[in-house]
Amino acid sequence: MDWSKTQTVFIIIFLVLNVALYGLYKERMSGTEDLDVIADKSIELRLKEDEITVKKLPNIKEGDLYISGKPHAFKKRELNMSNQNFYIEEDGYTLISSLKQPITLEEVSERTLKEFAARYVYRGNDYVLGEIDEDEQRAIFFQKTSERPIYYDEHAMLTIEWNKDNLVRSYTMTMLSEMEPFEHQAPLIEPIAIIEKLYLQKLLEPKDQIQNVNIGYTFMSELSQREVFVATWEIRVKNDSLKTEESFFVNAVDGTILTVLSNEEEEEE
């Protein structure tokens, strides 16, 4: 046996093995680097790649984390508007107004509905427009506190209805009073972090348009005949290609994605 030839063969095999192992190592390292690139991508870059657009985000970093209020019991003596007749339901918490002279809206729009609420609704300036349902010929307003809406609470809503001729004859409302903060100004989860959570949970679709990001409150619990509300981000999303429009509500304190239902949806549930 020629030992020198055998030694040369072993050296060649060893070199080939080393080259193969190095190639495998490089391939794995390249894959890891790709994963690192994906992991390191900012949410802004991910949104851009999926053609998800975001309008300017509000610069709100602090707020009252929790507030509380009591359902307001309406009294005849407080209703001093002479152009309408008022009816208070038996529980005292729901007010129905009948206009003596019905009002015709020149069109059904955000502007005309806001103008109607400000001019004809009892304490109408305490409410902010939430949604317009043209099919049902109805608009829902949310009571606001510190300029922030209280979303879909049965004790803090105004409903205006009209007929096929855009004629408004009445409205129905509930109200909270004695509003107080539980905790004063404290940090809130920032909107971009909320959007990232919606994205990672695949609640955002490619080409979605994030049109509005607002801060408000949603019902959390009841305590000693008072309702307690938690600070909540509302993310309004529209998609022209899918013909969808939706609002997501996210707890601004712990980031929980909330299921917020209108009164009609609650009845269906």
The contacts found for 132-139 with CB under 8 angstroms, 24 or more apart, are: 132/108, 134/108, 137/108, 137/161, 137/162, 137/163, 137/164, 138/162, 139/108, 139/113
Asked if the model's pLDDT at residue 92 lies above 50, the reply is yes
Find the distance separating the first CA and the last CA of the chain, reported in whole Å: 88
What element of type H or E holds 225? none
pLDDT at 21: 40
Whether residue 160 contacts residue 134, with contact meaning beta carbons closer than 8 Å, is answered with: no
Mean pLDDT of 39-54: 84
Asked if the model's pLDDT at residue 126 lies above 70, the reply is yes
For 126, the token pair is 């305490």
Least confident of 22-36, 178-192, 227-241: 22-36
Mean pLDDT of 74-99: 94
Asked if the model's pLDDT at residue 54 lies above 50, the reply is yes
What digits encode the pLDDT tens for the residues 216-252? Answer: 999 999 988 899 999 999 999 999 888 889 999 999 9
Q: What is the DSSP string of 249-261?
A: EEETTT-PEE---
Whether residue 113 contacts residue 119, with contact meaning beta carbons closer than 8 Å, is answered with: no
Which of 114, 113, 123, 117 minimizes the C-alpha distance to 80? 123
Alpha-carbon distance 236 to 251, whole Å? 15
pLDDT at 105: 97
Mean pLDDT of 106-135: 96
pLDDT confidence band for 6 (50 / 70 / 90)? very low
Least confident of 28-37, 108-117, 240-249: 28-37
pLDDT at 186: 84
pLDDT at 112: 97
Report which of residues 105 and 266 the model is more confident about: 105
